[in-house]
Amino acid sequence: MDNALAKGWELMESGDVQGAMRELRLRAADIPPAEIAPLVERVARLADMPDLAEASAALIAAPDQAQQLYEYGYECVEYGASFLAVPALSAALALVPDARSVLVELASALEREERYGDAFDILRAHEPTLQDWPERYLLAFNALMTGDLEVAAPLAAAVPEPVRDDQAWLPIFARLQRIFARAAQVRPADNRDLRGWHYVLNGTLLTTLSPYGFDSGMTGRYAFFQESLGHCLFSLRRLKTILEAANLRPTTISLLADRSSQILGLAAAQVLDLPAAPYAPGRPDTLIVGYDLNEVDEQLLAKLSSRTNGEVLYEHASCWTSQPSVSADVCAMLVQSCVSPWGVRLRQTQDGPMERIPADDRPVEKVAAEIVAADPDLEDGDGETPPDPDETLATFAARLARHWPAGPRESAGSPGPVRSSRFT
Of 253 and 354, more confident? 253
Domain ranges of the chain: 3-113, 196-399
pLDDT score of 6? 87
Helix axes 82-95, 100-112, angle to 10 degrees: 150
pLDDT score of 128? 94
Q: How far apart are the first and last CA of the chain?
A: 25
Tell me the Cα Rg of the chain. Answer: 24
Residue 194 and residue 206 in contact, taking contact as beta carbons nearer than 8 Å = yes
pLDDT of residue 149 exceeding 90: yes
CA 143/CA 116 separation, integer angstroms: 7
DSSP, res 135:
I
* Average pLDDT estimate for 351-376: 92
- Close Cβ partners of 318 (under 8 Å, ≥ 6 residues apart): 204, 292, 293, 324, 328, 331, 332, 333, 334, 335
pLDDT score of 13? 87
pLDDT of residue 2 exceeding 80: no
CA 373/CA 228 separation, integer angstroms: 12
- Give the Cβ contact number of residue 102 at 10 Å: 25
How far, in whole angstroms, is CA 182 from its chain's centroid? 18
DSSP secondary structure, 233-289, as one string: HHHHHHHHHHHHHTT---SEEEEPSSHHHHHHHHHHHHHHT--EEE--TT-SSEEEE
pLDDT score of 8? 86
When the pLDDT of each residue in the chain is averaged and rounded to a whole number, the result is 94
Sign of the CA dihedral with 407 first, then 409, 414, and 420 last: positive
pLDDT score of 1? 61
CA 321/CA 333 separation, integer angstroms: 13
Can you tell me whether residue 319 is helix, strand or coil? strand
Label residue 20 by pLDDT band (50, 70, 90).
confident
Q: Would the CATH topology of 3-113 be identical to that of 196-399?
A: no
> What is the architecture, at CATH level 2, of domain 3-113?
Alpha Horseshoe (1.25)
Residue 324 and residue 301 in contact, taking contact as beta carbons nearer than 8 Å = yes
Among the ranges given (52-66, 108-122, 225-239, 341-355), the one the predictor scored with the smallest mean pLDDT: 341-355
pLDDT of residue 373 exceeding 80: yes
Amino acid residing at 72: Y
CA 198/CA 194 separation, integer angstroms: 6
pLDDT score of 196? 98
* Average pLDDT estimate for 192-198: 98
User: Looking at the domain that runs over 196-399, which CATH code has it been given?
Assistant: 3.40.50.2020
Residue 182 and residue 199 in contact, taking contact as beta carbons nearer than 8 Å = yes
Q: What angle do CA 209, 203, 410 make, to 5 degrees?
A: 120
pLDDT of residue 109 exceeding 80: yes
